[in-house]
Amino acid sequence: MKLVLSRKGFDAANGRFPSPILPLGQLCSLPIPDAHPERQKNLRRYAEVQAGDVSLGQLAADLTRGRILPETPTHLDPDLNAASVPRLPGWRPVFGQSGAAESHLQRQGVGPGDIFLFYGWFREVEMVNGRFRYVPNAPDWHVLFGWLQVERRIPLTAVADIPPWAADHPHCQRRQPLNPDSLYIAREKLDLPGLDLPGGGVFPQFHKGLRLTDPDSQQRRRWRLPAWFHPANRPSALSYHGRANRWKTADQFVYLRTVGRGQEFVLDSDHYPEAEDWLRTLFTDSISYHLARKQGSHPAP
């Protein structure tokens, strides 16, 4: 099994503001605005997409101070939350990738059974006088917000293979697909023993296990990971991170200085068998934390 750490949502180049950790802890990855006129008329607007009972139109407009408006077309990808927009029968979570990032995934052999863990740039927000704003002095973090375990990859040149419920995906709106350009369709159920979860979805609320950034660092690109991520004495490393000087071990953690560019970082769990237990803990802790929050046992972050 390959594990793919995939950077998505608003970043310094697209959107230019952090995605919000809402006041009750809900993670809301803001999809980037779509800048391609040829497909904008067929794309959803931020105002059409929901995060629980909150419109992404309001979130984007408030947090960007009007730079992105509710009627701006959005590149809703990865599309992981069944409740965010109306769905056709048979819908499953789906993710599209193209160009150099898709070429990297194919070179790494990513395909059926492999798991994407999506992360992005997040900061806590609050509601003041009916508008969302970032909590003053709140830190910037890279945070995991969702997952997708691949059932199949569909090259977008194979138009007949695209399910009807995926036809409105942004990658299906191009007149001419890029080369390469693919859709990754989620499994119906996550294939990890002991878990009964869908093959793709969003983590319901923030907790510290989802935070990649070292909490003691001012740089969100400096991650704190379990010590087993270190590539020493392994046949491979997290892709793009093979240089030894990017890794530093201290106590039970390893600290990684991540590369500045790149969307998809691939880890081969055949070389890192600890990855499966880490994934299982990630999911079970998220379920436990969410249930405790609903019962009032945990404060908001």
pLDDT tens by residue, 3-62: 999 999 998 888 899 999 999 999 999 999 987 766 667 899 999 999 999 999 999 999
For 166-294, where are the alpha helices, taking DSSP H only? 274-294
- The angle formed by the CA atoms of residues 96, 98 and 102, to the nearest 5 degrees, is 95
111 Cβ contact list (under 8 Å, min separation 6): 150, 153
Lowest mean pLDDT segment, chosen from 64-78, 162-176, 229-243 = 162-176
What integer pLDDT is reported at residue 176 of this predicted model?
74
Closest to 122 measured CA to CA, from 50, 17, 37, 197: 17
Looking at the predicted structure, is the pLDDT value of residue 300 above 60? no
278 Cβ contact list (under 8 Å, min separation 6): 226, 228
Determine the Cα–Cα distance for residues 164 and 10; give it in Å rounded to an integer: 28
Tokens standing for 133?
Answer: 């704003």
Looking at the predicted structure, is the pLDDT value of residue 288 above 60? yes
Burial bucket for residue 137 (CB in 10 Å: 0-12, 13-18, 19+)? exposed
In the chain, the amino acid numbered 190 is L
Helix H or strand E encompassing 185 = strand 181-186
How many CB atoms are closer than 10 A to CB 260?
7
Looking at the predicted structure, is the pLDDT value of residue 243 above 60? yes
- pLDDT above 70 as % of the chain: 96
For 291, the 3-state DSSP assignment is: helix
What integer pLDDT is reported at residue 254 of this predicted model?
98
- Using omega within 30 degrees of 0 as the cis cutoff, is the peptide bond preceding 33 cis? no
Closest to 28 measured CA to CA, from 145, 201, 169, 137: 145
Total H helices, total E strands in the chain: 4, 14
What integer pLDDT is reported at residue 40 of this predicted model?
66
Helix H or strand E encompassing 40 = helix 37-40
What integer pLDDT is reported at residue 37 of this predicted model?
65
pLDDT tens by residue, 54-86: 999 999 999 999 999 999 999 999 999 999 999
Cα 24 to Cα 32, 38, 134, 145, 223, distances in angstroms: 23, 38, 14, 15, 25
What integer pLDDT is reported at residue 38 of this predicted model?
65
**In terms of residues, how long is the chain?**
301
pTM for this structure?
0.95
| CA 52 to the chain's CA centroid | 17
Query: Which tops the pLDDT comparison, 294 or 286?
Result: 286
What integer pLDDT is reported at residue 32 of this predicted model?
95
Looking at the predicted structure, is the pLDDT value of residue 226 above 90? yes
As a whole number, mean pLDDT of residues 93-99 equals 97
Using the Cα atoms of residue 57, residue 60, residue 62 and residue 67 in order, give the sign of their dihedral: negative
- pLDDT above 90 as % of the chain: 85
pLDDT tens by residue, 98-156: 999 999 999 999 999 999 999 999 999 999 999 999 999 999 999 999 999 999 999 99
How many CB atoms are closer than 10 A to CB 257?
17
- Using omega within 30 degrees of 0 as the cis cutoff, is the peptide bond preceding 78 cis? yes
pLDDT-derived band of residue 178, with 50, 70 and 90 as boundaries? confident
As a whole number, mean pLDDT of residues 290-295 equals 75
Contact 224, 103 (CB under 8 A): no
Determine the Cα–Cα distance for residues 170 and 61; give it in Å rounded to an integer: 21
